[in-house]
Amino acid sequence: MKRNYGNDNKHALTAKLDAQKIAWAPMMFQAARALRDFGILKLLLENKNGFTSSEVAEKIGISRYGATVLLEAGLSLELVYLEDDVFKLTKTGFFLQSDPLTKANMDFTQDVNYEAFMYLQESIKNSKPEGLHRVFGDRWATVYEALAEMPDQFRKSWFGFDHYYSDNAFPDLLEIVFKKSPKKILDVGGNTGKWSLQCVAHNPEVEMTILDHPGQLKEAFENAEKLGFKDRVKGHAMDLLKHEIPFPKGFDIVWMSQFLDCFGEEDILGLILRAKDALNENGKLYILETYWDDQKYEASTYSLHATSLYFTCVANGNSRMYHSDDMRELLDKAGMQVVETYHNVGISHTLMICEPKFRKIK
């Protein structure tokens, strides 16, 4: 099906202003971050009557000049407004200060992506995450192998971003997944075990097997041991891009959460085929993804289009946040079909439950 999205209905003056927002975006981003990190937005949030720039400077402990340039940039950023010489917080300022989605996205932009994005064009030309290679080192092909060795601030913001999106979906998902009382679940790309640990805590019988890189798996095992679930959280360290290595077999559910978006289309096909082989007779593949076409809010679609660029420049150079039809087409090629779909799980996820197309009916 041909796709349609967006339009060209904007007034020329608005379009020109929006073009300036793009032209100055990196500098204005840093101004917004300074307003947040110096505590200026918090100060204005806690004092609804606002302050003059001199008062802000004094309370925050920066020069009047510093407070003035930041607050005036804040006017154009629409984070603050000026009323009788007094700066007050806008709703956008409130979100920048207090909204966890905005915090996860902003910290991820700063600590994982900001410097790396100087190399976006090279990443596209070379189909490699040149941002990762030039800023953090080139001994890894992808960010996933590098994660365990990345600087603390990088790891904190990377995990903050990843966990923010998945943690919000967990409570709804446990209900859906355990409706059918699965006994064996394969958690492909299970990371540090967050989902697997939720499952074993939720259900006393289920046994989880995680597949991931050794660094992530080591942390997952440590977490399982700490929480007393060592016996029911197993795993294999492997490079999942080696398509000649099959997954272990005999699972009621193969679980892939925020995982397939880490790969290009050919690799996704290979991973789905191996997942299909890992299912037992009645097993199902559960794919949890954030599809940019299946969002309730524009803020989510915007975030997902930006996240795709992180994949290009930092993660691996060839994956992205997909359109849901892209995934359906790949499933179809792998001989799988979607039998149930849950929309708007957590903040912006879609869960597709899939099974082989030609499963024998007993």
Ligand X SMILES: C[S@@+](CC[C@H](N)C(=O)[O-])C[C@H]1O[C@@H](n2cnc3c(N)ncnc32)[C@H](O)[C@@H]1O
Give the footprint of ligand X on this chain (CB under 6 A).
144, 162, 166, 189-191, 195, 212-213, 216, 239-241, 257-259, 262
DSSP string, 214-254: HHHHHHHHHHHHHTT-GGGEEEEE--TT-TTSPPP--EEEE
Please name every residue paired with 188 in a beta bridge, in sequence order, or none if there are none.
211
Q: Which of residues 40 and 321 has its CB atom nearest to ligand X in the complex?
A: 321
Tokens of 45: 């949030």
Q: How far is the CB of 38 from ligand X (least distance, A)?
A: 32
What kind and span of H or E run contains 302? helix 298-310
Residue pair 309/281 in contact (Cβ under 8 Å)? The answer is no
Q: Which of residues 236 and 359 has its CB atom nearest to ligand X in the complex?
A: 236
Q: Which of residues 74 and 182 has its CB atom nearest to ligand X in the complex?
A: 182
DSSP code for 193: S
Q: Which of residues 166 and 348 has its CB atom nearest to ligand X in the complex?
A: 166
Q: How far is the CB of 170 from ligand X (least distance, A)?
A: 9
Residue 77, CB-side half-sphere exposure with 13 Å CA sphere: 28
Taking residue 53's Cβ as centre, other Cβ atoms within 10 Å add up to 21
Q: Which of residues 258 and 348 has its CB atom nearest to ligand X in the complex?
A: 258
Q: How far is the CB of 340 from ligand X (least distance, A)?
A: 19
Q: Which residue is nearest to ligand X (CB)?
A: 189
Q: Which of residues 55 and 239 has its CB atom nearest to ligand X in the complex?
A: 239
Taking residue 149's Cβ as centre, other Cβ atoms within 10 Å add up to 13
Q: How far is CA 215 from CA 46, 116, 143, 192, 275, in A?
A: 42, 23, 12, 9, 22
| C-alpha–C-alpha distance, residues 227 and 7, integer Å | 51
* CB proximity list for 45: less than 8 A, separation 6 or greater: 89, 93, 94, 97, 98
Residue pair 286/185 in contact (Cβ under 8 Å)? The answer is no
Q: How far is the CB of 205 from ligand X (least distance, A)?
A: 22
Q: How far is the CB of 276 from ligand X (least distance, A)?
A: 18
| C-alpha–C-alpha distance, residues 288 and 352, integer Å | 6
Taking residue 362's Cβ as centre, other Cβ atoms within 10 Å add up to 5
Q: Which of residues 136 and 195 has its CB atom nearest to ligand X in the complex?
A: 195
Q: How far is the CB of 55 from ligand X (least distance, A)?
A: 43
> What type of residue is 127?
S
Q: How far is the CB of 41 from ligand X (least distance, A)?
A: 29
Q: Which residue has the tokens 């073009």?
A: 19
Question: Pick from 337, 325, 318, 317: which is nearest to 289 by CA?
Answer: 325
Q: Which of residues 87 and 195 has its CB atom nearest to ligand X in the complex?
A: 195
Q: How far is the CB of 187 from ligand X (least distance, A)?
A: 7
Q: Which of residues 87 and 158 has its CB atom nearest to ligand X in the complex?
A: 158
Q: Which of residues 89 and 321 has its CB atom nearest to ligand X in the complex?
A: 321
Q: How far is the CB of 152 from ligand X (least distance, A)?
A: 18
Q: Which residue has the tokens 């030039």?
A: 134
| C-alpha–C-alpha distance, residues 333 and 330, integer Å | 5
For residues 96-125, one letter each, b for 16 or more C-beta atoms within 10 angstroms of the residue's C-beta and e for the rest, the string is bbeeebbbbbbbbbbbbbbebbebbebbee
